[in-house]
C-alpha cells in the first residue's frame, strides 16, 4: 500500500508575495495494490506537487510517503513508473531506442529491456513508428511513448500526471486498457485528470483535492452516498399551484413542470403529481462526479 500522509509544502515567494504560496496543506490518502486512484482538483490545487513529492522530484516541508509500511526510499522509487506533467522525451531519439534506454536505466538487462520494449510497442500500437524520431510523432503517439517509458520496467507503482490530456478517444482507450491491465496485476495506479467522466469510468476510488487539502476521498459510490441524490419529477400540463407545500423547486419548461427535491417523501410527491397531471418522469438523479467535484471544492 502506498500511503501519503500530512504532506505540507510552501513555495518561496518572490518580491511581490514575500509570504510565499502554500501548495500542500496536509494532504493525505492511501492507494491499495490493484487500485486505480483518480486524483482530481482544480488547476493549482496541488495534484502535481503531490505527485512530484511522491516521486522524489520535490521535497516536502513535512509529512511522509510510505510504501509497504516503510518510508519510501530511492531504491523503491526506481521500481515506480512515472509520467510527469510536462512530457519528457528525447526529441531526436528513436522510439524503440528511447523506451529501451529507460528500461536499462531502471536496471533491466539488455535482453529484458529489448523484450519489454517490443511488447509495449506492440501493445500500444507503435509498431510502424518504432524507428522514427520522437519529434516526428503526433502528440497522441508521443504520449504513448511516454507511457511506454513509464511502463517498461514493469513498475510496482504507477504515478501518472494527466496521462490522458490531449488524446483522442481511441488513444484514451488504448492507454486506459494498458493501465487497467497493470492494475489488475496488483499495481497501484495514481493518475490525475480533468476528464471527470473518464475518472468515473476507470477509477476504483477518487480523491478530490482543493487548495492543498484532500476534501473528499472514497469510491465514486461512496462519494455519491454522502452527496445524496436528487428526486426529479416531470409533470405535463399540471394544475397551477400543484406543488405548493412540497419540498424542492419547480421549473417550468413549456407545459412541462420539473420538480427537483433533495429531501421529502417521494411517495407523497408522486401522489400529488399524479393527481395534478400526467407524470412523464419520476426518479432519483444520481450526481455525476462533476457535480460531486463542484460541490466538494465550492
Partner 1 sequence: MNGLLLVARREIATHIRTKAFIISLLITAALVGAAAFAPKVFGGPDSYTLGTVNSQQLPLQAALPDAEIEWRAFPDEAAAKRAVLDGDVDAVLVDGVKVISDGEIDSELGILLQSTNREVKLGAAGVNIPPLQMESVGADTRYQAARTGIAVVLVLVLFMLVIGQTMTVAMGVVEEKGSRIVEILLTSIRPWQLLGGKILGLGALGMINLVAILGVGVAAAMVSGVAMDFPPGMPGIVAGVLIWFVLGYAFFATMAAALGSLVSRQEEVGNVMSPLTMLIMAAYFVAFYATTEPTSTLASVMAMVPPFSSMVMPVRMAAAEVPIWQVGLSMALMVLAVLAVLSVAAKVYERAVLRTGARVRLGDVLRGK
**Considering the complex, what minimum distance in angstroms separates the CB of residue 52 from partner 1?**
7
Three-class SS state of 288: coil
Asked if residue 17 binds partner 1 (CB under 8 A), the reply is no
**Considering the complex, what minimum distance in angstroms separates the CB of residue 106 from partner 1?**
5
Asked if residue 52 binds partner 1 (CB under 8 A), the reply is yes
**Considering the complex, what minimum distance in angstroms separates the CB of residue 51 from partner 1?**
10
Asked if residue 47 binds partner 1 (CB under 8 A), the reply is no
Q: Centre a 10 Å sphere on the Cβ of residue 90 and count the other Cβ atoms it contains.
A: 13
Q: Centre a 10 Å sphere on the Cβ of residue 94 and count the other Cβ atoms it contains.
A: 17
Per-position DSSP letters for 45-88, written without gaps between them? SSHHHHHHHHTTSS--SEEEEEETTEE--HHHHHTEEEE-SS--
* Gap between the Cα atoms of 214 and 220, Å rounded: 15
Q: Residues with Cβ < 8 Å from 268, sequence gap 6 or more?
A: 246
Report the residue from 21, 32, 90, 264 that binds partner 1 according to the rule CB under 8 A. Answer: 90
For partner 1, which is the closer residue by CB, 155 or 238?
Answer: 155
Asked if residue 154 binds partner 1 (CB under 8 A), the reply is no
- Do residues 150 and 87 lie in contact, with contact meaning Cβ atoms separated by under 8 Å? no
Asked if residue 20 binds partner 1 (CB under 8 A), the reply is no
**Considering the complex, what minimum distance in angstroms separates the CB of residue 128 from partner 1?**
22
**Considering the complex, what minimum distance in angstroms separates the CB of residue 88 from partner 1?**
4
End-to-end CA distance of the chain: 31
Report the residue from 102, 164, 191, 293 that binds partner 1 according to the rule CB under 8 A. Answer: 102
**Considering the complex, what minimum distance in angstroms separates the CB of residue 171 from partner 1?**
20
- Do residues 171 and 139 lie in contact, with contact meaning Cβ atoms separated by under 8 Å? no
Piece of the chain touching partner 1 by CB under 8 A; list 85-93, 117-125, 235-243, 274-282: 85-93
Task: Give the torsion sign (CA, 270, 271, 273, 278).
Answer: positive
Asked if residue 82 binds partner 1 (CB under 8 A), the reply is yes
Residues making contact with partner 1 (CB under 8 A): 12, 52, 55-58, 74, 77-78, 80, 82, 84-93, 101-102, 104-107, 149-150, 153
Amino acid at each position: 500500500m502506498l500511503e501519503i500522509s500530512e504532506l505540507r509544502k510552501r513555495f518561496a515567494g518572490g518580491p511581490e508575495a514575500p509570504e510565499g504560496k502554500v501548495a500542500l496543506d496536509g494532504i493525505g490518502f492511501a492507494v491499495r495494490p490493484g487500485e486505480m486512484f483518480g486524483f482530481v482538483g482544480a488547476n493549482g490545487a496541488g495534484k502535481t506537487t503531490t505527485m512530484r513529492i511522491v516521486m522524489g522530484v520535490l521535497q516536502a516541508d513535512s509529512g511522509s510517503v510510505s510504501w509497504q509500511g516503510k518510508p519510501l526510499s530511492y531504491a523503491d522509487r526506481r521500481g515506480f513508473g512515472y509520467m510527469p506533467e510536462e512530457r519528457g522525451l528525447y526529441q531526436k531519439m528513436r522510439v524503440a531506442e528511447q523506451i529501451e534506454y529507460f528500461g536499462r536505466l531502471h536496471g533491466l538487462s539488455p535482453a529484458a529491456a529489448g523484450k519489454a520494449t517490443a511488447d509495449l510497442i506492440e501493445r500500444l500500437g507503435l509498431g510502424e513508428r518504432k524507428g522514427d524520431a520522437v519529434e516526428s510523432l503526433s502528440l497522441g503517439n508521443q504520449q504513448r511513448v511516454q507511457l511506454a517509458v513509464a511502463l517498461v520496467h514493469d513498475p510496482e507503482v504507477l504515478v501518472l500526471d494527466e496521462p490522458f490530456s490531449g488524446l483522442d478517444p481511441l488513444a484514451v482507450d488504448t492507454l486506459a486498457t494498458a493501465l487497467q491491465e497493470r492494475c489488475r496485476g496488483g499495481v497501484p495506479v495514481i493518475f490525475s485528470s480533468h476528464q471527470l467522466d473518464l475518472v468515473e469510468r476507470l477509477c476504483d476510488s477518487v480523491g478530490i483535492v482543493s487548495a492543498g487539502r484532500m476534501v473528499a476521498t472514497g469510491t465514486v459510490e461512496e462519494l455519491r452516498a454522502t452527496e445524496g441524490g436528487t428526486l426529479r419529477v416531470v409533470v405535463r400540463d399540471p394544475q397551477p399551484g400543484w406543488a405548493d407545500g412540497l419540498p424542492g423547486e419547480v421549473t417550468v419548461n413549456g407545459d412541462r413542470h420539473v420538480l427537483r427535491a433533495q429531501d421529502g417523501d417521494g411517495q407523497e410527491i408522486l401522489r400529488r403529481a399524479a393527481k395534478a397531471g400526467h407524470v412523464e418522469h419520476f426518479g432519483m438523479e444520481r450526481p455525476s462526479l462533476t457535480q460531486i467535484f463542484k460541490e466538494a471544492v465550492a
